[in-house]
Amino acid sequence: MLYRICRRLLRILFALFYRLEAIGMQHVPAEGPVILCANHISTFDPPLVGTPLERKVHFMAKAELFQMPILGWLIPRVGAFPVKRGGVGKETIKATLQLLRDGRVLGIFPEGSRKNPSGEGKKGAALFATRTGAAVVPVSIVGNYKLFRKMTIIYGPPVDLSEFAEGTSEQLEAATDKIMKTIRIQAEAYKKAARN
């Protein structure tokens, strides 16, 4: 109930202040485990990725946020779960795998941080996908969150990771590269089309 209320409110705010356009929502499966893999440019990215969709999206959030007075009460109720500073521990991995095995939607930013200049992804999303068979939907966030300037979010067709099913370290790296490349390509294609 609270998630739906927050989602409705955020839809209004994003439409009003960022003229949000969501493209390709039909690519997000209506049921079953899904991993939304997005580029990461702002602290606003998690609600931006989840708000246009009907399904509830779960995100990892820094454990410290759960200790804050109001935020600590709110974020677990809207789908966030804690991850400790310094990396994803065994408990977080278990919780994430269980979430996907329960057929839910996970939102993840393979770059790990907004301040990742290389734009390279970490292997977590690929690991979770190969372990659970979750559909991996590449999500491209286009824009810079300037007030009253258009923001666009593009949900692409699921990335085929079947060739990486064994989940070796090399395969996970290759799968991650494929996901990140797809995110970049669909963002570039959108920008090119918008210029023409």
Instruction: List the structure tokens of 68.
Output: 């804050």
DSSP state of 26: G
Mean pLDDT along residues 30-34: 97
Query: What is the DSSP secondary-structure string of 101-154?
Result: HTT-EEEE-TT-STT-TT-PPPTHHHHHHHHH--EEEEEEEES---TTS--EEE
How far is residue 161's CA from residue 109's CA, in Å, rounded to a whole number? 17
Tell me phi and psi for residue 31, to 5 degrees.
-150, 170
With a cut of 80, say whether residue 115 has pLDDT above it.
no
How far is residue 154's CA from residue 117's CA, in Å, rounded to a whole number? 22
Mean pLDDT along residues 39-60: 92
Give this prediction's pTM.
0.90
With a cut of 70, say whether residue 54 has pLDDT above it.
yes
Mean pLDDT along residues 67-94: 81
Domain annotation for the chain: domains and CATH numbers: 2-195 (3.40.1130.10)
* Predicted confidence (pLDDT) per residue in 59-79, tens digit: 988 788 888 888 888 888 888
Q: Please tell me the predicted confidence (pLDDT) of residue 86.
A: 63
Distances (CA, A) of 14 to 58, 110, 111: 19, 24, 24
Give the helix/strand (H/E) hosting 82.
strand 80-83
**CA-wise closest residue to 123 among 80, 174, 163:** 174
Express as a percent the part of the chain with pLDDT over 70.
Answer: 93
Instruction: List the structure tokens of 146.
Output: 């300037």
* Predicted confidence (pLDDT) per residue in 154-188, tens digit: 999 999 999 998 889 999 999 999 999 999 999 99
Residue labelled with tokens 């294609």: 189
**194 versus 109: which is more confidently predicted?**
109
With a cut of 80, say whether residue 37 has pLDDT above it.
yes
